[in-house]
């Protein structure tokens, strides 16, 4: 569904200048190589592989878990998060995330944090999230983008662990923590919607926003469960919905947005190439779609390069990218007044580019 093929050249400079949000990105996947080398040295921890190929996670000797690209990648995220031991390191990770997003032209981001990846902080979640908030406060004071936090469950956790996390969020109300998420390997964990329905119901009743990883390593059933059992306001990935015409109509009618991450899907072997990726089909069906990075540092790319790659692959022009920017802002959990301001900025940007 190409709205425009003429107009300004689509390149990374244009994409960086376009106001936008990012709604599907994990803090655990945003450590640059220099960050990891520094943290590993401070923690006196060995690298799981050679420094030059540290992000080639399928070659590393990181024990535990099921075989497969996604499982290996999740174990690597455990190793990364486990290197962060002090509040200063956690705050610096959050600050650098905001800087990374801002460098890509992101004006607001919902960043996902799964506490199970941060092994040194078990039993100290309050201190961890306080450190993240402190780093993001400093970043915003320095003129970087606004970032809020989505605390994520791991699919292998129990209903009791899920309830414990939700109860803590509701009672403590950590600064900047606005949403409950769930992530992990759908195929390895099996159907999890019924297991976590109560926890997500509590979160909804307490006013927390809800976003759910679904329709990635499993089929459309996970998306149905996210909508019907977990009261999801946003679906992270959701690409396997393209296999179910009834589900596509449900998503189009409800305008529950998908946080799609095409390059992540390719890197983890979900699709062999962009031509076979269902992103154009999802848009053509009228589904609200956003384009995001998932774990960009670990996978070696940035948001602007991903948008340009999609534009090149699918023939998108400025109007298409402006539509994606508006969709990203509308799909975000930013406060309504910030959403309105950012949408107005997109309109001004497009008007200026069109006149020129």
Question: Annotated catalytic, 337?
Answer: no
- Tell me the helix, strand and coil percentages in the chain, rounded to 5: 55, 15, 30
Identified catalytic residue from 22, 216, 233, 304: 216
Contacts (Cβ under 8 Å, ≥6 apart) of 285: 242, 248, 249, 251, 252
How many whole angstroms separate alpha carbon 334 and alpha carbon 315? 30
| Rounded Cα gap, residues 194 and 222, in angstroms | 11
> b/e map of 58-93 (b: 16 or more CB within 10 Å)?
eebebeebeebebbbbbbbbbbbbbbbbebebbbbb
The residue behind tokens 């996604």 is: 70
Six token digits for residue 77 = 């995220």
Which of left, alpha, beta for 342 (phi over 0: left; psi -120 to 50: alpha)?
Answer: alpha
DSSP assignment of 63-111:
-SS-SSHHHHHHHHHHHHHHT--SHHHHHHHHHHHHHHHHHTTEEEEEE
Alpha carbon distance 87, 346 (integer Å) = 36
> Where is 21: in which H helix or E strand?
strand 20-26
Closest CA to 113 of 152, 73, 162: 152
**Residues that are catalytic:** 216
């Amino acid at each position: 569904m190409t709205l425009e093929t003429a107009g300004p050249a689509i390149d990374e400079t244009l994409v960086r200048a376009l106001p936008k949000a990012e709604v599907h990105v994990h803090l655990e996947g945003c450590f640059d190589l220099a960050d990891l080398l520094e943290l590993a040295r401070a923690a006196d921890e060995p690298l799981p592989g050679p420094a030059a190929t540290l992000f080639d996670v399928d070659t590393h000797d990181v024990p535990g878990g099921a075989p497969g690209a996604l499982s290996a990648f999740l174990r690597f995220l455990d190793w990364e998060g486990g290197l962060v031991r002090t509040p200063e390191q956690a705050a610096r990770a959050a600050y650098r995330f905001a800087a990374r997003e801002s460098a890509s032209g992101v004006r607001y981001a919902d960043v996902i944090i799964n506490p199970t990846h941060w092994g040194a902080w078990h039993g100290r979640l309050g201190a961890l999230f306080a450190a993240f908030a402190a780093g993001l406060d400093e970043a915003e004071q320095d003129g970087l983008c606004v970032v809020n936090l989505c605390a994520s469950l791991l699919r292998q956790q129990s209903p009791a662990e899920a309830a414990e996390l939700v109860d803590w969020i509701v009672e403590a109300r950590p600064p900047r923590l606005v949403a409950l998420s769930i992530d992990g390997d759908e195929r390895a964990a099996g159907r999890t919607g019924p297991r976590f329905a109560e926890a997500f119901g509590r979160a909804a009743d307490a006013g927390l926003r809800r976003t759910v990883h679904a329709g990635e390593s499993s089929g459309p059933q996970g998306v149905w469960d996210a909508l019907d059992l977990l009261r999801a306001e946003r679906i992270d990935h959701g690409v396997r919905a393209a296999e179910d015409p009834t589900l596509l109509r449900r998503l189009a009618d409800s305008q529950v947005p998908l946080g799609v991450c095409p390059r992540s899907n390719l890197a983890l072997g979900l699709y062999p190439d962009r031509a076979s990726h269902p992103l154009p089909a999802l848009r053509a069906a009228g589904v609200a779609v956003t384009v995001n990075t998932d774990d960009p540092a670990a996978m070696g790319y940035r948001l602007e390069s991903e948008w340009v790659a999609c534009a090149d692959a699918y023939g998108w022009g400025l109007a298409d990218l402006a539509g994606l920017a508006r969709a990203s802002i509308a799909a975000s959990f930013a406060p309504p007044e910030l959403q309105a301001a950012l949408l107005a900025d997109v309109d001004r940007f497009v008007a200026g580019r069109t006149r020129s």
